[in-house]
Amino acid sequence: MKTTIFYFIAAFSATLSLRVQLKISAITLAILFAFSAGLTAQKNKVSRYETFVYTTNKIDVLIQNEHKKQGENSRGFMSDLGGAFLNAGKGVAGGYVTSILDIGVNTVAGLFTQGANNKLKWEAVVKAENMYQETLTTVEAINNFYSRPSFDSPMDPAGMNFNGIGCLRTIEGDTTFYISCHIDESKISRIINHSKFELEVDTLIIDPYKGDLPNSDFNSEFSFDQRNNLQIVVEMRLISSWINALTQLQNNQELGHFTLSVPVKQTDLDGSGKLRYVKTANVPAKYKITGESFIIPRSYMGYRDAENNYKDSWGTGDYKVELSIKESCGVTDAYRKNWKADWKARQDAESDENFMQRTWKTITSQRWDELGKQWVITTLKAPADMINNDLLKELDLPVATATQAKAGGGAGKK
């Protein structure tokens, strides 16, 4: 690529003045350096995501208090639903469940097709790289939506200890994204009256310069000079499976869907270049989560008492969490006006074979944090050649266990 660029400079600048020649050379070298640096930075980039599922006994207390306010002593209806009780104590004592996913990557394949106008090609390429989505999921089902079984009903909220979802992303120890949201305690009555709950944002941190836009190896850093209308959308889903007393199975049913949409402007950033928000008590929320979720149905699990009488009971609620982070943006008029120089630089960068043959790998682990009373799902994303024993040890994983858990494949960024 360097040889091609310098040959172009020599041929084209022969008829120009020395000052113009030097200017063109400087610009071309700057472009070459920028893309070389970008490739190096991206190749050594390791992202760490930690998704949290919070638990607390406070929600159970609030539900009991709400029952008293409404003059109810118990809840017992819709007994045909059942909840998913699948070994409620499993995993609570600690330990990891691990999976590894290989991601084959080819970000620019097919973009330089023949017969199309270069301006249209450039528009299509830039549009594609202005969108990115990361999806994080639990490795296996979490089986303690409630702290104890129920002898009353599959939808009995007593003992509910689920209290929200959070996610932290760090790169080399620096926080690039963080969200923490909990059950909206001002709407506990919805659990009693409708078997539903809502979430609210407590804390939010977004670093637009260390996100995944542009979704391309050509431009390693986000710039408000080139991109506008930056939008971060966080979606959270609760999925459950359960069986009722008639042995009717409901498998992987979505019971809740929450969405948070955050427009990010340069004027919203603090001195360190990050958007920061912390909810203040008795002050209207700046960012609101839309959506709701049913409480998790309990699976039927009848039992025999001391006198050998068979009685009904229901489990502690089995569920999975899926969290996706979507980034999108537009293009500024200044960047679009300079499309020819940008397109030329992209064509030059494409000639680098290594640029087209990179593979990323994702490692995910799930564990119970007894101290924090929360589930922690940790996801590491890194170039495949960087997945080594040291990186696996960062998750406290036995190397043999991690390498044997390889599964599946898919497409992703870079």
Q: What's the pLDDT tens digit per position in 171-191?
A: 888 999 999 999 999 999 999
Residues 6 or more apart whose Cβ sits within 8 Å of residue 337: none
CA-nearest of 409, 352, 358 to 384 is 358
Other CB atoms within 10 Å distance of the CB of residue 166: 20
Maximum distance among all Cα pairs of the chain, rounded to whole angstroms: 104
User: Tens-of-pLDDT digits for all 414 residues of the chain?
Assistant: 434 333 333 333 443 343 434 333 333 333 333 333 333 333 357 788 999 999 999 999 998 888 788 764 444 433 333 333 333 333 333 334 444 444 433 344 344 444 358 889 999 999 999 999 999 999 899 999 999 999 999 999 999 999 999 999 998 889 999 999 999 999 999 999 999 999 999 999 999 999 999 988 776 689 999 999 999 999 999 999 999 999 999 999 999 999 999 999 999 999 999 999 999 988 999 999 999 999 999 999 988 888 999 999 999 999 999 999 999 999 999 999 999 998 888 887 776 544 444 577 888 889 999 988 999 998 888 777 776 776 666 656 555 443 333 333 334 444
Q: Identify whether the C-beta of residue 286 lies closer than 8 Å to the C-beta of residue 113.
A: no
pTM: 0.74
The pLDDT of residue 391 is 65
Q: How far apart are CA 352 and CA 358, in angstroms?
A: 12
The pLDDT of residue 178 is 97
Q: Which two tokens stand for residue 246?
A: 């008639």
Q: Identify whether the C-beta of residue 138 lies closer than 8 Å to the C-beta of residue 359.
A: no
CA-nearest of 358, 394, 327 to 135 is 327
The pLDDT of residue 408 is 35
Q: Spell out the SS3 assignment of the chain.
A: CHHHHHHHHHHHHCCCCHHHHHHHHHHHHHHHHHHHHHHHHHHCCCEEEEEEEEECCHHHHHHHHHHHHCCCCCCCCCCCCCECCCCCCCCCCCCCEEEEEEEECCCCCCCCCCCCCHHHHHHHHHHHHCEEEEEEECCCCECCCECCCECCCCCCCCCECEEEEEEEEEECCEEEEEEEEEECHHHCHHHHHHCEECEEEEEEEECHHHCCCCCCCCCCCCCCCCEEEEEEEEEEEEEEEEECCCCCEEEEEEEEEEEEEEEECHHHCCCCCCEEEECCCCCCCCCCCEEEEECCCECECCEECCCCCEECCECCCCEEEEEEEEEEEEECHHHHHCHHHHHHHHHHHHCCHHHHCCEEEEEEEEEEECCCCEEEEEEEEEEHHHCCHHHHHCCCCCHHHHHHCEEEEEECCC
Distances (CA, A) of 399 to 376, 386, 387, 413: 20, 14, 11, 26
The pLDDT of residue 233 is 97
The pLDDT of residue 97 is 46
CA-nearest of 67, 364, 323, 75 to 199 is 323
Which residue matches tokens 């949201």? 181
Q: What is the pLDDT of residues 99-132, one digit of tens each?
A: 444 443 334 434 444 435 888 999 999 999 999 9
| HSE toward the beta carbon, residue 184, CA cutoff 13 A | 19
Identify residue 178 by its one-letter amino acid code. Answer: Y
Q: Which two tokens stand for residue 213?
A: 């836009």
Q: How far apart are CA 318 and CA 174, in angstroms?
A: 34
Q: Identify whether the C-beta of residue 203 lies closer than 8 Å to the C-beta of residue 180.
A: yes
Q: How far apart are CA 47 and CA 234, in angstroms?
A: 18
Q: How far apart are CA 176 and CA 222, in angstroms?
A: 13
Q: How far apart are the first and last CA of the chain?
A: 20
The pLDDT of residue 401 is 42
Q: What is the pLDDT of residues 360-401, one digit of tens each?
A: 788 888 999 998 899 999 888 877 777 677 666 665 655 544
CA-nearest of 249, 199, 207, 257 to 232 is 207
